[in-house]
Amino acid sequence: MNFEQIITYLQANGWPVERLGENTARSRFKGRARTFPFFVHADPTYMTLLCVPYARLPAEDARAKVLMDRLLHMNRDLNMAKFAVDDDGDVVLAVDYPLENLNESEVRDALDVMSFYADKHWEEVSELAGK
């Protein structure tokens, strides 16, 4: 699949899609506690789903370290996803899939993985972030 086919799949399955560029779009999904924004990006080799901003790092260094340590521990238990922190201090939940041989089933799996972990960890992460 290529980026156009991914976008077509999302739209055909009821996902709201806003094109932001040649290889990037924005969408969202409703979780139990909030609506999560996410980006879909395709580079030459990977499709990436980025749930960002998931949360913000606390301004206080000690609290930020506690959250970052917890995210590292969570990453050990995540399957096909990872938490990260971007340059702006946003906590990001990312799911990457190789574009080579990507099919609709794998796009659906990536969306399921992202939405599952976003919902599962929201309460704990938001509490550690001070929200």
Residue 65 is predicted with a pLDDT of 97
Please state the pTM of the whole predicted model: 0.92
What is the rounded distance in angstroms from the CA atom of residue 128 to the CA atom of residue 40? Answer: 27
Residue 5 is predicted with a pLDDT of 95
Q: What percent of the chain has pLDDT over 70?
A: 99
Q: 78-106, pLDDT tens digit by residue?
A: 999 999 999 999 999 999 999 999 999 99
pLDDT band at 30 (very low <50, low <70, confident <90, very high): very high
Structural domains in the chain (count) = 1
Question: Counting Cβ atoms within 10 Å, is residue 111 exposed (0-12), middle (13-18) or buried (19+)?
Answer: buried
The structure tokens listed for 54 are: 């998931």
**Domain containing 46 — which CATH number?**
3.30.1460.10
Range of the domain at 85: 3-129
pLDDT band at 67 (very low <50, low <70, confident <90, very high): very high
